Structure 1
């Protein structure tokens, strides 16, 4: 009897961790299930450790991710060095082959929910090498202060300080970068930071070198409405759940879980800031096919106390979708990747719509069978295709 119970428990545990109800058109489903299983096991162990008071959730994951980091190692094609721009750690990739002209420059910002990740992670190191080699470009891959140790605006300020440093005439000259061909890019939280600094650059009179392009990969762009259709659909989306995304947003601003609870209820924006919903109103900004029968409901006003303690979630530097049309109209040529099975899908869709309405040239690549994280899942067919399309667009536009 005891053995039977143990066997049943084992079967239930295996089913819970291995089986993921993936959409039918997901490519290489078993491969993704195994990836998701590893994540679920790690997340549950980390959650248990936090519940016991051993360590903060994000701090523990940061420790585990350190084992996936690589040192700055040059190869036969690219010279790789670690340095600091304005005290911000950066990793620079420079092609070894001789160039008869100045090169493109791409400033890349890693993702990780403003809490996790590093430019030294395997997936970002491989990506930067490929960009440098295939585009004959100088790639600057930046780090930034992470939550919970640092909160907004530290992440934005680190990235902006490093970008401003890179855009100085003498720095561009040192690395052989054409000042007319510099772009910014990032994925997820890195896409958020890329969009935010691109907006800031156009308003900064002290920055003489402007960006030629921005390339945003499933960016997080707003924290006002946590009940978008993609959030409502996303309970079983792979890699990134609505609960985890809400935790990331909350940690960006504070370790106070009160904000997270209010966000989960969609009751965190005070009445006096309700005018900001016009910039993220999915009922008017999403194409009809993505609304899928959902009905827009204005979020319930929240406590003014929360917004006074943690004003970041109402700040355009944290939520680029809050920018007015005058700012948007000044932005450079834009490439946006969105994925159908991603809680951040609607953020990207709305930003593409708003940019187009403001007169910006936008190339929007929506991946029907895509999911969050697909861009950097090296070894997956979908990652190979997404990166090739990304490289092609940069080759043509940067």
Structure 2
């Protein structure tokens, strides 16, 4: 009881302190975002404290706040079921209306920094139900094993296995899916996985023609340079701070606590990685309006002597693939948010894809924060979540 009271007291004090943090000018739903931001920072501080004294791990406390889950409840127009594809849990949304032709399909990969999240999350469930209903499409939500228990590349391998299973002709026929009208989509860390799976599928002889489009919502696309203008401008949030992003990245890669210090200083890359910086050089790849007055500083390489191959692995940083590997990618939709540390990742990917001839549609949401989709349909539902959903569904409707 004493331990619980201590935790509650600390939480209340920290929450009260954090509530007064100023928000960016002209941001929508300011009081809601202030509340969410204060809650996230409070939980983060308490989680780190509890981890340091050995009560529980940081991510365990974060997961307790993510338990807003819903079961596979069907309704008038959509049948919802939980099943597995190649032993990977998936949630299927199948329209009930009869169709004279095969339907299009959307594979959705949730975010959560590789550490939290599930297709069972109420907001994602609402999002996927709406997409299935409004598009008259088969929607597949994929769950993957989470860090730190399951480190890179387990999450990617889980999604890749589920997608491959779904793309087999007999499975597509079973669910009435048109094999020429399939989109892979994902948000945040799920956007990274979606981008990598799409790259891998385009090089797979059996499946390379079965992905018509990819939709990436505020995706994380590189670990090379975590001091781009968007990382600098939004280092303290709102909601997703640079420190929190680094913490989750490290949980996905390694148990070495020096990882956090090294990435925090942007000195984590090995000596042999210098040639890769051309793929994330924001001075060239960012539109002028996003460069502002920032001055590029090349990271110090080899400072910590890390030998982690993950830092230079394109399966975790899809921006690192060369131009020839990007040329065959399908129609792409990218959404970025102004107040988001990951904003520049999406902008740079859009630039690189366009430069090699890939058709790209890019929506940039001014005054929006990272992860708005996670608040869709909840008590603290954000205006930007509804706008994001509408942009996403509209683009899918026109392009797949």
TM-score (norm 2): 0.93
Partner residue, 1:373? 371
Deviates more, 1:121-130 or 1:236-245: 236-245
Cα–Cα, structure 1 residues 318 and 208, in superposed 2: closer, same or farther, change >3 Å? Answer: closer
Indicate the SS of the match to 1:107: strand
Would you say the 8 A contact 1:340–1:367 is kept in 2? yes
> Following the alignment from structure 1 to structure 2, what is the Cα–Cα distance between the partners of residues 96 and 383?
26
How many residues of Structure 1 are paired with residues of Structure 2 in the alignment? 387
Deviation at 1:100, TM superposition (A): 1.8
1:4 is matched with which residue?
none
Point out 4+ residue stretches in structure 1 off by more than 4 angstroms. 9-15
CA distance in 1, matches of 2:306, 2:36: 37
Alignment match of 1:339 (pick from 337, 340, 346): 337
Is contact 1:127-1:376 (8 Å) kept? no
8 Å contact from structure 1 (residues 59, 148) kept in 2: no
> Is 1:34 the counterpart of 2:35 in the alignment?
yes
What is the CA deviation profile of residues 37-63 of structure 1, one whole-angstrom value per residue up to 9, with x for unaligned ones?
Answer: 222332222222111112221133224
Q: Compare 96-105 and 372-381 and name the one that shifted more.
A: 372-381
> How much does 1:14 deviate?
5.9
- Which residues in structure 2 correspond to 1:1-398 (within 5 Å)? 15-65=16-66, 67-207=67-207, 209-303=209-303, 305-307=305-307, 310-378=308-376, 379-398=381-400
RMSD: 1.7
Structure 1 residues without counterparts, runs of 5 or longer: 1-8
Rate the CA distance shift 1:14–1:91 in 2: closer, same or farther, 3 A: closer
- The 1:208–1:223 alpha-carbon spacing in structure 2 relative to 1, beyond 3 Å, is closer
Q: Distance in 1 between matches of 2:302 and 2:261?
A: 11
Aligned partners of 2:326 and 2:356 also within 8 Å: yes
**CA spacing shift, 1:27–1:215, aligned 2, 3 Å:** same
What stretches of structure 2 of length at least 5 have no aligned partner?
1-9
Conservation of the 8 A alpha-carbon contact between 2:192 and 2:316: yes
Any conservation in 1 of the 2:184–2:214 contact (CA below 8 Å)? yes
How far apart in 2 are the matches of 1:192 and 1:10? 32
Cα separation, partners in 2 of 1:99 and 1:248, compared to 1, 3 Å: same
Question: Partners in 1 of 2:77 and 2:301 — Cα distance?
Answer: 55
Shift of 1:101: 1.3
The separation in 2 between residues aligned to 1:334 and 1:39, in whole angstroms, is 31
TM-score, normalised with respect to structure 1: 0.94
SS at match of 1:129: helix
Is residue 222–residue 317 contact of structure 2 (8 Å, CA) maintained in 1? yes
CA shift digits 1:206-258 (9 cap, x unpaired): 32652000000000000011111111111232110011111111111112111
Q: Residues 11 and 263 from structure 1, CA distance in 2 versus in 1: closer, same or farther, beyond 3 angstroms?
A: closer
Q: Distance in 2 between matches of 1:175 and 1:31?
A: 40
Rate the CA distance shift 1:11–1:51 in 2: closer, same or farther, 3 A.
closer
Tell me the CA shift for residue 12 of structure 1.
7.8
Match of 1:6 in 2: none
Q: CA deviation at 1:320?
A: 0.3
